[in-house]
Amino acid sequence: MSDTANPAAGISDEEEKSRRDFLIVATSVVGGLGTALAVWPFVHSMNPAKDTLALSTTEVDLSPIEEGQSITVTWQGKPVFVRNRTAAEIETARSVKAADLIDPETDEARVQKAEWLIMVGVCTHLGCIPLGQKAGEPKGDYDGWFCPCHGSHYDTSGRIRKGPAPLNLPIPAYEFLDDSIVKIG
């Protein structure tokens, strides 16, 4: 090493070595960091594109939906369940203690108007669409919705009561434009 040290400049072997160590570490860190950062555009290119992201909203006319009936509308490519609940369904949904539930939430917190239950119809387990929208479909042990994929039971408020799903069916952002028109999204 001594021949690479620079006696003329008064730099000893020791100093020369630590100077090189510093340079190696510094270049490695900068180079490594730069490469790591360069990965991001490639990863992010796989995230939703701008056109996919462009906020979409769906307007639903509630007037044809009679008490005890449901319809399914599409919003952002996902099904949204809109149900006109019967008094008995509201009653059962409100008679359970929220604290006893898998995902504690009161029925009041899940609706804007008691009779209109509006939620994303995608099972929070692994994304199947629960049954129970149409007459004759199984509604599960809690008379709400039943996901046949791995057996999740949802109650009349769309809350998970039994099975592998961890969360209640999600409530999308929505507002009533007037008594019978609701805007989802």
Partner 1 sequence: MAFKFFENPVVKWVEYRMPVFSFLDHSLGSSYPTPKNLNYWWNFGSLAGMILVIMIVSGIVLAMNYTPHVDYAFESVERIMRDVNYGWLIRYIHMNGGSAFFICVYIHLFRGMYFGSYKEPRELLWIIGVFILLAMMATAFMGYVLPWGQMSFWGATVITNLFSAIPFVGDSIVTLLWGGFSVDNPTLNRFFSLHYLMPFVIVGLVVFHIWALHMHRSNNPLGIDVKGPEDMIPFHPYYTVKDLFGMGVFMLIFMFFVFYAPNFFGEPDNYIKANPLVTPPHIVPEWYFLPYYAILRAFTTDFFLYQIVSLGGFLMSAKLAGVLAMFASILLFLLLPWLDRSKVRSNRFRPINFWFFWIFFLDCLFLGYIGGKPAEGSFIIMGQIATTYYFAHIILIIPIVSILERPKPIPESISSAVTAAGH
Pick the piece of the chain touching ligand FES (CB under 6 A) from 25-33, 104-112, 132-140, 163-171: 163-171
Task: Determine the Cα–Cα distance for residues 21 and 152; give it in Å rounded to an integer.
Answer: 60
Nearest distance, CB of residue 120 and ligand FES, angstroms? 13
Pick the piece of the chain touching partner 1 (CB under 8 A) from 7-15, 86-94, 162-170, 177-185: 162-170
Residue 104 interaction partner, one of partner 1, ligand FES, none, beta carbon < 5-8 Å per kind: none
Residue 78 interaction partner, one of partner 1, ligand FES, none, beta carbon < 5-8 Å per kind: partner 1
Verify binding: residue 150, partner 1, rule CB under 8 A. Answer: yes
**Residue among 5, 16, 69, 76 that touches partner 1 (CB under 8 A):** 76
Task: Determine the Cα–Cα distance for residues 158 and 117; give it in Å rounded to an integer.
Answer: 8
Full strand arrangement of the beta sheet holding 174-176: 58-61, 181-184, 174-176
Verify binding: residue 149, ligand FES, rule CB under 6 A. Answer: yes
Long-range contacts of 106-111 (CB under 8 A, 24+ apart): 107/157, 107/159, 110/157, 110/158, 110/159, 110/168, 110/171, 111/157
Strands (E), 102-156: 116-120, 145-147, 152-154
Q: Which residues bind partner 1 (CB under 8 A)?
A: 43, 46-49, 52, 72, 74, 76-79, 102, 125-129, 148-151, 163-166
